[in-house]
Structure 1
Amino acid sequence: MMTSRTIPPLPEEVGMGDGEEGVVVLQLPVKDPTFDLAKAVCNHGLFMMAPNGWDPATASLRRPLRLSSSSASLSVRVSQPSPPPDHLLVSVYCTTFLSSQDQDAILSQVRRMLRMSDENDRMIREFHTIHAAAKERGFGRIFRSPTLFEDMVKCILLCNCRWPRTLSMAKALCELQLELKCCTISRELYPKTPQLREFKRKRHNTMDVIAKSVDKCQENRSNLAQKAMSFFNHDNHSNKSQRMETSTVGETDSIYDFEGLPIINKLDASSPVRQLSSGILCLPNTQGNFPSPEELANVDVNYLASRCKLGYRSQWIVSLAQDIVEHKIQFSKLEEICNGSTLYSYDELDKELSGIHGFGPFTRANILMCMGFYHKIPSDSETIRHLKQFHSIKNCTVRTARKNLKAIYGKCAPFQFLAYWFEMWTCYEEIFGKMTQMPPSNYQIVTGINMKVSEIKNEC
């Protein structure tokens, strides 16, 4: 069901446009009578990573989601009316109309993030029959990304680094997406632009080339350099070469987004703009989406490593994106195998993922958890810390962790991860407070080095 209405902008949207802006409100049916949006979102570190934005004041999730073409995104807010009815409200901003294809695309992404399906509901009910404490707290849905690619990249970001850096890398990737998608880069502030490559699409047998474009700067009345923002529109499924349109913006010119809609009517000394870390100027509340495979496949590895502080991960991420774009990795095949929901399909998927450069055991286990397999527990230093503090296993090591995990959580099969993560998340909230009420500025402190021994008892 879709309704279209024009409403005053939210406080955080002031400055995004003049006057009122259009909003299309979609209704997403909820079958599980116990469904709670806050609990479905705030249960894993993935919800803290950009471009996700949980608002404690309104108990709503805000982030960009892609339309059916996958080349365009709109800002979306997901909320749950009170008292909880049989649906969620999905508000899509900066538009007054959505095609049926775009509606389906957005709702499908929301369902994936919140694990809203008959199969997920069944698994949660089954888990609650063997874990009374989780049932009492309404724990069982583990938040994930709207796409498998975003999950994969974020699982790479979780590996071998501290939590604050993971958050900063995710934020930098979203900022990069905003630059690649919406902004022309000035040579003065951005001397090293991404080196773009050509690749051949097997499906269409055409060459898709993204060309670099640089606009000159023009000083405004305050002698501040105003950078020209260039927006391009391309369809990744088109047989035509991708195009980029550029324009030079003066004091009375308009800036247009990639759909050709004016977002600043007059650019002058008083125009509200913010400067990204790269030096690019954009609107104060403009938010980049998480980059798609098509957007990352053409970015130079060294540039990506430097711009987003990814280090060696940049090679893995670009390689993954290129393999997807060139159809060496087929997501449809991975999802098809996953739909079997059997241990055999887990082993088959694990084997498929092991062939991807940079996907070690920890990364693969996290990705497969995101895909709905809960019988394997991703093990890292946080796991060892938890076993030592929570279960008083003093001599726990990387070599003994798997044996310890099996002994402790084996009775919760096939939901060992859910039982383990229930303990972990409960400990986090005992120390840091309710995640649903935590301001985003505090996300970086939610890490094991700030944990003290918890007195919570294991009730699995």
Structure 2
Amino acid sequence: MEDTQNQGCHRHCSEHPEGTAWFEFHMELPSESEPFQLEQAVCSHGFFMMAPNRWDPLSKTLTRPLLLHNPSSSSSSLLVSMSQRSQSLAVRVHAVHSISPQQQRHITARISRMLRLSQAEEKAVREFRRVHADHPNRSFGGRVFRSPTLFEDMVKCILLCNCQWPRTLNMAQALCELQLELQNGLHCNVVGPSNPKVEAEGFVPKTPASKENRRKKAPTKSALLKKKLELELELELEVDGNLQMDKSSDTTSLPPDNGDSEVLGSDDSCYQFPTEGQYFDRTGNFPSPIELANLSESFLAKRCRLGYRARYILELAKAIVEGKIQLEQLEELSKDASLSCYKQLGDQLKQIKGFGPFTRANVLMCLGYYHAIPWDSETVRHLKQVHSKNTTSKTIESDLEEIYGKYEPYQFLAFWSEIWDFYETRFGKMNEMHCSVYKRITASNMRSTVKGTNKRKRPSRICQC
């Protein structure tokens, strides 16, 4: 990836109100097309809401820990905040007096990946805006926020499958909490017996939200025993999620200022904007492959409420650590963004257990391929509601081609621009949203009255982001 170059604007502050040091440098931002906007680049995809990312809508600052070295190894992290200063990005590294040039290059590369600050991505942004000029969306500028590493993207794509958005957020948060516990030596990384699992490995997620809690009973005793642990974990999490949703507020506005400018809310489920070094008291970084590879499936599934996803995540982590999957090669292939490389990448991802069509399409989008649209039941709902299509799972691919084919090779960006605009018309601007509201962005809160009745129609799950 061709990253932007940092400017020589460095600052070090030894006197901070909290008594800790920080180091700051600036990154140059692209200026070839429309002016870059950090809030637009960050708040463009649901990944920005997922731990360990923390977006502060008041100061327009993104904060998260960044792994400094190879993601397949166990390396130290530094807490980093970034905010925009005209056409540069002010990057603050917390709780350090200085960083080495190599560390600065690592941090710059991670940030560039998250914000897609490369020449190839800048070209894609310009071209998309040109072909999509007939449907401008000021909130979506063509950059889709992603993670600092491909491994984190891949795991988060797994977390999107077959569940509603609140559960996806809970699982990501639990993984980051686990990483902190592992760093503090609170768990033994001992591989134990695996949980039984009978889920299909190449599924396309299509479970409607209205049916997600209606688990079918196993027809036989042997099948029941085989699924027992899996279903217990799934049902337990869904009950917890439903209770949390019932207790959460309906408002999407920011809470009143209580005089403490660094606390965004008093809700325990909300994250504080960090005050120099306090971030890790609440959560850790996203775990690396080596931190997960030696865990037992049963422990990971129970600790992070992952269900069958634990197996896929563990097998992915182990394959990376053992060198069977080379993330650097996948990233290198994605630089070309040609259809031949797309097919090659797709074939490689298809060999990974748990990477069905939906997950593969999302990962490929993270790698910069925008001509394939990941589809699920929410996509079907969108085409019915917005485009008045009588779409089914059998016709969805032809319907997507009919509507978005004219934007080739940026079909996903055109589709996502509509989706993001659709979300914001119902929930408010994402970049202004308080973090306690994130779990409200779900199909259960997008009810529409059925014509001719007083009943409410509950659509399928909304968030496939």
Question: TM-score category by the smaller chain?
Answer: 0.7 to 0.9
Of 6, 13, 19 in structure 2, the residue corresponding to residue 5 of structure 1 is: 13
Shift of 1:285: 3.5
Match of residue 78 from structure 2: 74
Which is worse superposed, 171-180 or 439-448?
439-448
Query: Within 5 A, what are the aligned runs for 1:32-431?
Result: 32=31, 34-68=35-69, 71-81=75-85, 84=86, 86-132=87-133, 133-134=135-136, 136-137=138-139, 139-184=141-186, 193-196=188-191, 285-393=281-389, 395-431=390-426
Matched to 2:313, the amino acid is I
Quote the Cα distance in structure 2 between the aligned partners of 1:96 and 1:430: 44
Matched to 2:309, the amino acid is R
Match of residue 443 from structure 2: 448
TM-score by length of 2: 0.73
Q: Structure 1 452/410 Cα, relative in aligned 2: closer, same or farther at 3 Å?
A: farther
Quote the Cα distance in structure 1 between the aligned partners of 2:58 and 2:427: 18
Matched to 2:14, the amino acid is T
SS of the residue aligned with 2:78?
A: strand
SS of the residue aligned with 1:21?
A: coil
Is this contact kept in 1: 2:52–2:64, CA < 8 A?
yes
Q: Quick check: 1:433 aligned with 2:435?
A: no
The gaps in structure 1 that reach 5 residues or longer are: 10-18, 186-192, 198-273, 275-281, 455-460
Match of residue 189 from structure 1: none
More helix by share: 2
Matched to 1:415, the amino acid is Y
SS of the residue aligned with 1:428?
A: helix
Q: Deviations over 1:334-374 (max 9, x none)?
A: 11211121011111100000000110000000000000000
Matched to 1:53, the amino acid is R
Which is worse superposed, 282-291 or 63-72?
282-291
Q: Deviations over 1:416-439 (max 9, x none)?
A: 000000000001000000001111
Q: Deviations over 1:382-432 (max 9, x none)?
A: 101111111112x31111111110000001111000000000000100000
Is this contact kept in 2: 1:375–1:417, CA < 8 A?
yes
Quote the Cα distance in structure 2 between the aligned partners of 1:138 and 1:305: 35
Q: Structure 1 383/95 Cα, relative in aligned 2: closer, same or farther at 3 Å?
A: same
Shift of 1:5: 1.7
Is this contact kept in 1: 2:53–2:63, CA < 8 A?
yes
With CA pairs under 8 Å and 6+ residues apart, which has the higher RCO, 1 or 2? 2
Shift of 1:68: 3.2
Is this contact kept in 1: 2:180–2:280, CA < 8 A?
no
Is this contact kept in 2: 1:376–1:416, CA < 8 A?
yes
Shift of 1:448: 2.8
Matched to 1:362, the amino acid is F
Shift of 1:131: 1.2
TM-score by length of 1: 0.73
Is this contact kept in 1: 2:120–2:335, CA < 8 A?
no
Shift of 1:327: 0.1
Is this contact kept in 2: 1:64–1:287, CA < 8 A?
no
SS of the residue aligned with 2:136?
A: helix
SS of the residue aligned with 1:294?
A: helix
Is this contact kept in 1: 2:11–2:25, CA < 8 A?
yes
Q: Structure 1 307/138 Cα, relative in aligned 2: closer, same or farther at 3 Å?
A: closer
Q: Deviations over 1:144-179 (max 9, x none)?
A: 000000000000000111111000000000000000
Quote the Cα distance in structure 1 between the aligned partners of 2:411 and 2:59: 33
Is this contact kept in 1: 2:153–2:366, CA < 8 A?
yes
Q: Deviations over 1:238-267 (max 9, x none)?
A: xxxxxxxxxxxxxxxxxxxxxxxxxxxxxx
Quote the Cα distance in structure 1 between the aligned partners of 2:316 and 2:108: 26
Structure of larger gyration radius: 1
Shift of 1:110: 0.4
Quote the Cα distance in structure 2 between the aligned partners of 1:136 and 1:326: 44
The gaps in structure 2 that reach 5 residues or longer are: 1-7, 193-267, 269-277, 450-465
Match of residue 250 from structure 2: none
Q: Structure 1 283/412 Cα, relative in aligned 2: closer, same or farther at 3 Å?
A: closer
Q: Structure 1 93/283 Cα, relative in aligned 2: closer, same or farther at 3 Å?
A: closer
SS of the residue aligned with 1:179?
A: helix
Q: Structure 1 453/409 Cα, relative in aligned 2: closer, same or farther at 3 Å?
A: farther
